[in-house]
Chain A
Amino acid sequence: MNLYEHEAVSSIYKKYKVPHANFVVATEPNDEVAQFVKDNGGAVVKAMVLVGKRGKAGAVKLVNTPEEAAKAVSDIMGMLVWGEKPVAVMVCEKASIVAELYCAITYSTETRSPVITLSMQGGMDVEDIDPADIQTFPVKAQAEVEPYEIRNMLVKIGFTKQYGEILRQASMAIANVYQAFWGAECRMLEINPLAVVKVSKKDKKTGEMVEALDIRALDAVITLDDDASIPPQKIYGERSAYMREPTQREVDALLIDRDDHRGKAGSYVEPEDLSGDIAMMTFGGGGSAVTIETCYDVGLRPANFTDIGGNPPAEKMYRIGRIILSKPGLKGVLVCGGTASNTRIDVTLGEGLVNAIDDLAKEGKLDRDLIWVVRRGGPEVEKGLKLLAECFERNGIKGKIYDSELPITEAPLILRDLLVEHRGYKPGEQAKEA
């Protein structure tokens, strides 16, 4: 799950003592914002969105007065940032930036450990940084890195050439960033920029205000591990996979697995633009992915993605079946899974799906122009496919049913050819040469 910057700063930076700018969060102009801008002699107003490149979208504004701040808050809350509506703004104290570092911590599959990526060329998109200016350091998978390890890294990226006077502060700040990464169970924690800033400090000897350098995390891009020991949605609420409101069908599907942990049938996502004309009833992570992929390859347009598995009871299969078949504009249905080890085919297809079809037919909601292709293997497959075939017969459904003798990815090809032959289907442009 991706966090908004204000969530990341409020709940993670504060807890792990990652130095950051003071701020207030608002959704409309108010007295707190006005007072904050007055006290700090200006501010930076930033849109709280999950997409990147906010600056380029004009969603980060510098303001000097409470009036300017009020206008910036209203403007940003009213805009779309690369299509995404801000949920709030963060009003932060301005920083006097001397240098911008890039700092990210993530898991590397190359070392199968956490890695810290650092560059002196932060402040720009990470893809635009010259690879020669960016270095990645594997660290031991444990709760802490020692600041000396970070100092060794900072020397290697050239930090000490100009900013040696704050080497200790910087190393402790980044060591805290690592602790935050580990402690909050992040999948990725990216700070761009991690800035060297000029601040006014009281000189300990003379008591006078003097300028000094310090380090501040001026951004927070955090992806939490969805499998973290405390599920992120328990802390931050549910979040749609796409940057749009979930459809009613997606919401209905989510409810299927909510109170019943037997198997999984409620994963249902529609393409971001809601397009597609092939209802997909696919089973298992790998089996679903390989089927969807082949669909695109042969020019079929999936209307939804599902990943059903773990031997769900018939009731769950009934519900997801009805949801999948209720999307408008469908032309074909692909029921496709590999050879299940656990999932009972008589229960899922022979009972759950069959009941869904029978009920839709009774209610007059069954579209008999749809063309179906079924391919499935697993426990009680003979019984399950026979029950489904009988259901097709009595309801006048057109289709073909295969068991695991048919390689799984030939099913989309067969459906495409049937659709072309019987319904004049025009395969999409992505279709590869057969």
Chain B
Amino acid sequence: MKGTSLLNKNTRLVVIGATGREASQVVRESEALFPGIILAGVTPGKGGTTIEPNVPIFNTIEEAVAEHGAIDTALIYVPPASVKDAALEAIAAGLKTVFVITEHTPIRDAAFIYRVATENGVRVVGGTSLGCFVPAVGRIAAIGGKAPEGALADGGLVVISKSGGLTVTTAEMLKRRGHGVLMAMGMGGDIIAGTIYSDLMEELQANPDCTGLVMLGEVGGTYEEQAAEAIQAGKFTKPVAAFIGGEFQEEQEGVAFGHAGAVVERGKGKASDKKRLLAAAGPNVRVARYYHDLPDCIEELGVKPNLDNPASREVPAKYATI
């Protein structure tokens, strides 16, 4: 069955901060759409309660894992100041993957979590991750909302995006042109991201279901540059279509707009450099000039649509008063 190391048929979740407003809604919605993936929730002090219809809440991750040995992934929804605590608890409980959905994790905590996770062989995704969607399996977190089938269809492309909103928007744009996705993942736009494009390239290269990668990057940091290096080193030879946002911010050094990591610092992290390096990384890469060129880019590299009845390129207005 299709899947990735982040989400496959064996993936089982414990949701940390599960009884919060947003998290409990995600638990209910996700279990209605893809039952059986979330086995437990954790909220200190709420142990013994249940999120209807059937997700039990524990006081600690250790207790949740003792009861449900299949749990291998934590999904963190706690406030920013508690993210470090929750992530370290998940690592200590022996889980192998930790998704941090919380926005505004302090950089210091993110760096500390990344260090401890790496030392323990644990993969962190995020902070500010939207989660991950594998149409053939299910989803982790709110990605796709209540009715994800409109935007996400099964296929072979992997979408990895710093922007959460653009993760789904891109999958939907691809779907309208006949391309389904193997996985769509929001890696988050934080300065220290637990999982970056290049971290997944070797796995995706080896995964026969993956037909190509669609990368949504932006100004700031060096994660796109690291992706270019990995491609140049031959770690990923399948088609790559990339869009890098934020060139307009280059003249405004030090000013962050949007994500915390989207800042040019001391000449580093410019969108124009990222585009140049990616375009030069290999013949399997196309950099989109406009965001909406991404489907053309991936098709130019030989990826064929796998869905029936792709939509027309001419889109009429739903309403027009002009």
Which of B12-20, B234-242, B253-261, B297-305 touches A?
A: B253-261
- Enumerate chain A residues within 8 angstroms of B262, measured Cβ to Cβ: 285, 289
Q: Which of B134-150 contact A (CB under 8 A)?
A: 142-146
- Enumerate chain A residues within 8 angstroms of B176, measured Cβ to Cβ: 405
- Enumerate chain A residues within 8 angstroms of B189, measured Cβ to Cβ: 285-286
List chain A positions with a Cβ less than 8 A from chain B: 2, 106-110, 112-114, 126-127, 140-142, 182, 185, 187-188, 223, 225-229, 241-242, 269, 272, 283-290, 292-294, 296-297, 305, 307, 309, 337-342, 371, 377-379, 385-386, 388-389, 392-393, 397-410, 418, 422, 432
Measured CB to CB, the closest approach of chain A to B148, in angstroms, equals: 9
With A287-B165, A338-B166, A408-B169 known as contacts, the answer to whether A400 contacts B111 (CB < 8 A) is: no
| Cα–Cα, bound, A432→B266 (Å) | 27
Select one of B173, B245, B256, B267 contacting A127, CB under 8 A. Answer: B267
B292 within 8 A of A: yes
Query: Would A227 and B321 count as touching, CB distance under 8 A?
Result: no
Select one of A269, A297, A401 contacting B318, CB under 8 A. Answer: A401
5 cross-chain CB contacts under 8 A? A107-B111, A341-B143, A401-B319, A407-B315, A422-B322
B114 within 8 A of A: yes
B151 within 8 A of A: yes
Query: Would A227 and B114 count as touching, CB distance under 8 A?
Result: no
Query: Would B115 and A109 count as touching, CB distance under 8 A?
Result: no
| Cα–Cα, bound, A389→B319 (Å) | 6
In addition to A287-B163, A289-B262, 18 A-B residue pairs with Cβ atoms within 8 Å of each other are A109-B191, A109-B193, A109-B221, A109-B223, A223-B254, A227-B104, A228-B108, A229-B80, A285-B262, A289-B218, A290-B166, A292-B248, A294-B291, A338-B165, A341-B143, A404-B151, A405-B176, A409-B290
| Cα–Cα, bound, A55→B168 (Å) | 49
B252 closest partner in A (C-beta):
A272
Select one of B193, B222, B247 contacting A293, CB under 8 A. Answer: B247
**In this complex, which of B22, B115, B146 has the most chain A Cβ atoms within 10 angstroms of its Cβ?**
B115
Q: Give the secondary structure class of A's interface.
A: mixed
With A109-B222, A226-B260 known as contacts, the answer to whether A407 contacts B166 (CB < 8 A) is: no
| Cα–Cα, bound, A107→B269 (Å) | 13
Select one of B130, B192, B269, B318 contacting A341, CB under 8 A. Answer: B130
- Enumerate chain A residues within 8 angstroms of B151, measured Cβ to Cβ: 339, 377, 404
Measured CB to CB, the closest approach of chain B to A402, in angstroms, equals: 6
With A290-B291, A400-B322, A402-B315 known as contacts, the answer to whether A227 contacts B260 (CB < 8 A) is: yes
With A294-B290, A377-B169 known as contacts, the answer to whether A225 contacts B317 (CB < 8 A) is: no
| Cα–Cα, bound, A398→B319 (Å) | 11
B62 within 8 A of A: no
Measured CB to CB, the closest approach of chain B to A159, in angstroms, equals: 22
Select one of A185, A286, A296 contacting B163, CB under 8 A. Answer: A286
Query: Would A107 and B191 count as touching, CB distance under 8 A?
Result: yes
- Enumerate chain B residues within 8 angstroms of A389, measured Cβ to Cβ: 318-319, 321
| Cα–Cα, bound, A379→B289 (Å) | 29
| Cα–Cα, bound, A223→B264 (Å) | 13
Query: Would B266 and A408 count as touching, CB distance under 8 A?
Result: no
